Structure 1
Amino acid sequence: MNDLGTPVLDNHIHLDRENQGIEAVKDFHRVGGTHLLLVNKPSWHLDVEAETGEDFRAVFEETIALAEEATEILRGRAWPVLGVHPGLVTRLTDERGFEPHEARDLMQAGLSVAAEYVRDGRALALKSGRPHYDVTDAVWEASNDVLRHGLDLAADCDCALQLHTETTQDLSDVAEWAAERDVPRERVVKHYATGRLVGGTPSVMSEKEYIEVAIEEDEPFLMETDFVDDADRPGAVLGPKTVPRRVQWLLDDGHEDAVTVAHVETPEHVYGVDTVGTLGS
């Protein structure tokens, strides 16, 4: 195992035991990775075609089980992040005949079930968002209703909310909704960020160019791969070794402070986790 001398956190990764699964965790560990935020895969990827909020529970339980198995391998640990992928709205409306308001209600119910796991300490944070592609006005508004429900739950659970959204560097509208609910802005985390963000904390895709932008911004940030663990797309979006290798690159270039920001200070500020204190030998 390549000990980089620092916690190394991938803030957004997926695992699927039917694909690489725990082998991806072993790859991450071997190159110096220590901590993971494991986000449940979209429900339909696990052959769950939900009819009620309770139907999402199988997806969440599987994610928690994988996080526990990953923790047995890592020097640090894995934490589950649970929620409903915003792309489900299109699957429901375009393929299953739901009206936008019916899709909204089902997705909100699934998020409410996810929040149960945060409240009882079995999950760290929630995940929601809105489509990153063009949709009708009715679907967009329904999706924003789901996102706002996620913020309601984050306020109730006192936790962070990871967001999958359109490509943007400005989430001021979401920051305003968060403020209305007394959710600290830093706990609004934009997954798949490109280094610069107004209205929340960027979880930066670990391409060198995006990391360089984040360092120039001199603001709190996280690093991620969005590894999807799909046999049809091996290595997509970025492979599980990417974050540790980018940390090594940063250290080699003298950016120790940026590594501390992304892997120690920001995780503590956003999620309340101690990546140093949870390191084993």
Structure 2
Amino acid sequence: MEQLGTPVLDNHLHLDPTHGRGLDAVRDFSRLGGTHLLVVNKPSWHLGVDANEGADFRPVFEETVDVVADATAELPGRAWPVLGVHPGLVSHLVDERGLSPAEARDVMQSGLDVAAEYVRAGDALALKSGRPHYDVSEAVWEASNDVMRHAFALGADLDCAVQLHTEASDDLTEVAEWAEDAGMARERVVKHYAGGRLAGPTPSVMSEKDRLEVAAERGAPFLMETDFVDDADRPGAVLGPKTVPRRVRWMLEEGWDDAVATAHVETPRDVYGIDTRETLTR
């Protein structure tokens, strides 16, 4: 196992031991020097779940909690679950099943309510929500924003972070203000699949060199991720599990030690309340 002399956290990836590489991906991450993972549940419909109410999401969440426990056993640090409802579900509910945007909103909010139960019980670290990254009708857009606001209300109540899947943007100040209106600190709102520059939430930067250069030179808080989807039909998508440790090694070679500490120690502490140094157990 390579040692990089620092905790190495991938802030957003998926693990699917049934349809993907599962723990083999975790072992690849660990062998290259990776120590900690935030594992996000896959979209419910990818697991064959046709949700009508909140309880229908429970098997999706349970699968993630279970694989996180197995992943932790493979890591020198540990993994944590991030649970929620993928914003793309709104299109499946409206376009494929014929629900109204308001009905789809209610299903998705109820799914978030169930995810919140896991956070409240200490079985998950954070929530996941957002809005479509593609064009939708005004009614679907408003319903999606309502779902996201509900996630912020839950995050405020639970004192936890909320990861967002949204459209590509370097300015989500309005969204951060919605979170603040709900009682959350904007820093605890995390935009997954971010570029190196973002106004409003904390960026979880896709671990491509050009994006990381921007983030490192800015000096602002950021996280690193791969969005590895762990799908046998899409090997390596989006980035592979070895990417974050490889990029950390490159950043250290480039002299960006402070940026590495920002992304893997300080920002995880400030956003999620986790200590990536203290949780290095071996």
What TM-score bracket applies, with the shorter chain setting the length? Answer: over 0.9
Query: Displacement of 1:253 after TM fit?
Result: 1.0
> Identity over aligned residues, as a percent?
70
Distance in 2, Cα, partners of 1:63 & 1:242: 21
The CA deviation at 1:172 is: 1.1
Equivalent residue, structure 1, for 2:91: 90
In the TM superposition, what whole-angstrom CA distance separates every residue of 1:37-82 from its partner, at most 9, and x where no partner exists?
A: 0000000111111111000000001000000000000000000000
**Conservation of the 8 A alpha-carbon contact between 2:54 and 2:111:** yes
- The AA in structure 2 aligned to 1:16 is D
1:200 equivalent in structure 2: 201
Shift in Å at residue 91 of structure 1? 0.6
Question: For residues 107-118 of structure 1, what are the structure 2 equivalents within 5 Å?
Answer: 107-118=108-119
Aligned residues: 281
SS of structure 2 residue aligned to 1:223: strand
Map 1:1-281 to 2 at 5 A: 1-18=1-18, 19-281=20-282
Q: What amino acid is the match of 2:8? A: V
Q: In structure 2, give the amino acid aligned to 1:48.
A: V
1:226-252 per-residue CA deviation (whole Å, 9 max, x = no partner) reads 000011110000000000000000111
Equivalent residues of 2:93, 2:99 under 8 A apart = yes
Letter in 1 for 2:194: A
Gaps of 5+ in 1: none
RMSD (Å) for aligned C-alpha atoms: 0.5
Give the Cα separation in 2 of the matches to 1:229 and 1:251. Answer: 27
DSSP-derived class of the 1:267 partner: helix
Deviation at 1:118, TM superposition (A): 0.3
Separation in structure 2 between the aligned mates of residue 167 and residue 205 of structure 1, nearest angstrom: 12
Q: Per the alignment, in what secondary structure is the counterpart of residue 231 of structure 1?
A: coil
TM-score by length of 1: 0.99
Taking the aligned partners of 1:213 and 1:250, their CA distance within structure 2 comes to 12
Structure 2 contact 153–183 (Cα < 8 Å) conserved: no
Q: How far apart, CA to CA, are the structure 1 residues paired with 2:128 and 2:50?
A: 18
Deviations 1:17-52 (A, max 9, x none): 121011100000000000000000000111111111
Note the residue ranges of structure 2 that are not aligned, 5 or more in a row: none
Q: Match of 1:128, SS?
A: strand
Letter matched to residue 182 of structure 2: R
The secondary structure found in structure 2 opposite 1:239 is coil
Q: How far is 1:181 from its partner?
A: 1.6
Paired letter, 1:138: A
Q: After superposition, what is the alpha-carbon deviation per residue over 1:128-172, rounded to whole angstroms, capped at 9, x for unaligned?
A: 000000000000000000000000000010000000000001111
Structure 1 residue matching 2:203: 3-state secondary structure:
strand
Post-superposition offset of 1:198: 0.5
TM, length-normalised to structure 2 = 0.99
Contact 2:132–2:144 under 8 Å retained in 1 = yes
